[in-house]
Structure 1
């Protein structure tokens, strides 16, 4: 392999998953040679809802990232207004504040943290991976003991390593843009669902600088919806939304048991279809999977260690969200869950844990939904008697 550059780890993609993977690897072994490749030059924009759950900040804090600097220029998000498909509304305070950090800022700051930790960043678009006895050859130019694919929904690494692609019915599409946050309450995230083209919802995520990230997404069925359709649905659900320029992106939703790589090639974040199928949340999954893969890359058995740690921390959660995604194809169940959240803080907190963190279907949430269902049935019965 004369002429190859040798690296302990090559990370493809410098978004949150890739930068976190580099940070985690260097946290385990500060002397490791870690190369991060990305086709873009930073700072660069990335189409996303920009929501950063406190669970993601916990992971980054554990890797030594200064989350105060990471979220600088934004304001904490303390409340959530959730409107169900048939119009049930729950407005409650988060147990812990979330953040909204535009990806142009978030990604550049995480890249800077990875470089400070010792990673090298280069602008390079990869085309091929070739397994070798000692690791993986990348484009005939780099040789790595382990490669981590963090190159997003259209991952080249995923295709090159032969991992399963997203199965039909598990990909969503969304449009988002930035506009004035003026029409909406400050420090409040808003999700508005609709039975039309269900599952689908619009969102408002205020940044805290006078602007808001606003968008709409829905599940792709037989063919992707048009930009005109998506734009019309956004304004139908958010009629007070000012004009804005929209950009689109695909979201490969988690199938419950994602394929996270082959051999010495590991997949993280969107490249592994690690996006919450209930909410479209991906940054927590990205930084958690990135941190686990980066640490695993420094062990004698990267693939085995990564799968075991991901299963331990997210396995049950992913199975539960997959089951819930199938159940919530019935809008009535989402109405019921929203009613339970409206009526009780515990049910609200449990829903947030499932949608933004590693939560599972809790007995308390099921009990709250049953109580709400029985109460609604009794009220309906009384109204008929009267």
Structure 2
């Protein structure tokens, strides 16, 4: 049976980052990436990438310009609260919007250049043994990293429960002509109707925008309802073929088990419950998993500790903020405060798009803008 030091299931941002990190930590490590698709391939996503994701990639030796080439920075963000308060400001650091067909192909290409081997294979069976992990009866790994998305085969093989409907969102995404006046501006619109729910329009810089709409599964989401929400929040937008995807939110994130199997990105429910952001979490968790893979049988414990140290406090704060955001009046007050003060706006963006925290400054600002009773 063919043996590899590290096998990564899934070649998206989490899987590519894991392969890069494993090779960087041990240049002699034999790293295999398995993906059921050939690259380039599309992936349903909002395509927005926060600057902090590029920080992680830079730490893996990836020059950001090799990833962003052809896609200009998007320096502004416009947010609309459930009750209609709108604020638009320059973000502390610009984001980029890069179609996943491009982003994923570029990242897995960098991983291959670093010595990882990419193979097209749909993984169907994973069995865990004390000294190895077997994949489809043909490949063994010292450590297996499951970076295979929301419907992760690896997660199911571990017996890890799926997110409950209250911890799971569903969204539709398509591409459409850029909204008038949207050049260089990411747009997120929330709504009190079917709350919590939101629509987005993220410009690619070529006259098109990635547009979509999502809400919690527990709210009785249907395709017709999602399409109606998109039309209602982004009137006049006419996207091409819409595709749906699930978003396992970090409010339902499972505990990383001990042993030789690690879960990264969507496979471990690392999706921001406030914004649906997942690429920063994906590359960060993938990078941490790739390093932890060097611990062999102790990889699970090492990875769990690294994740907790790097993201634990942020995830607690984002969960709390998600719970607080169920009150539309509070969301409205937060955006009023963000409109009045750049620092509060920056706090909100870091919490929703990267690894920020729920600051006293943001809470105090929201309290000042709550309606008096």
What's the TM-score, normalizing by structure 2? 0.97
Structure 1's 179 and 208: CA in aligned 2 closer, same or farther, altered over 3 A? same
Pick one of 50, 53, 56 that aligns with 1:53.
50
1:111 aligns with 2:111: no
* Structure 2 residues without counterparts, runs of 5 or longer: none
Per the alignment, residue 136 of structure 1 pairs with 133
Distance in 2 between residues matched to 1:204 and 1:125, nearest whole Å: 32
Whether contact under 8 Å (2:258, 2:299) holds in the other structure is: no
Shift of the 309–243 alpha-carbon distance from structure 1 to 2, 3 Å rule, reads closer
- Is 1:13–1:37's contact at 8 Å kept on the other side of the alignment? yes
* Change in CA separation of 1:36 and 1:78 when aligned onto 2, cut-off 3 Å: same
1:87-236 residue pairs with structure 2 within 5 A?
87-221=84-218, 223=220, 225-236=221-232
- CA separation of 1:54 and 1:110: change in aligned 2, threshold 3 A: same
Distance in 2 separating the partners of 1:84 and 1:238: 14
* Other structure's SS at 1:192 match: strand
Alpha-carbon distance, 1:240 to partner? 2.5
**Structure 2 residue matching 1:14: 3-state secondary structure:** coil
Q: What is aligned with 1:239?
A: 235
What do you get for the CA RMSD once the two structures are aligned?
A: 1.3
Change (3 A) 1:175 1:32: same
Q: Give the match's secondary structure for 2:250.
A: coil
2:250 aligned with 1:248, yes or no?
A: no
One of 23, 27, 37 as aligned partner of 2:24: 27
Instruction: Flag the structure with larger Rg.
Output: 1
> 1 CA distance for matches of 2:104 and 2:260?
26
**1:383 corresponding residue in structure 2:** none
Corresponding residue of 2:346: 349
* Structure 1: runs of 5 or more not aligned: 381-386
Moved more, 20-29 or 181-190: 181-190
**Residue 330 (structure 1) aligns with:** 327
Q: 1:131 to 1:59 in 2, by over 3 A?
A: same
2:254 aligns to what?
258
Identify if the C-alpha distance between structure 1 residues 256 and 363 changes in structure 2 by more than 3 Å, giving closer, same or farther: farther
Kindly indicate whether the alpha-carbon contact (under 8 Å) linking 2:8 and 2:15 is maintained by their aligned counterparts in 1.
Answer: yes
Q: Select which of 38, 43, 54 maps to 1:41.
A: 38
Using structure 1 for the length normalisation, give the TM-score. Answer: 0.94
Are 1:270 and 2:266 matched, yes or no?
yes
What is the SS of the residue equivalent to 2:61?
A: coil
State the Cα distance separating 1:325 from its structure 2 match. Answer: 1.3
Change (3 A) 1:193 1:112: same
CA, structure 1 residues 90+48, in 2 after alignment: closer, same or farther (shift >3 Å)? same
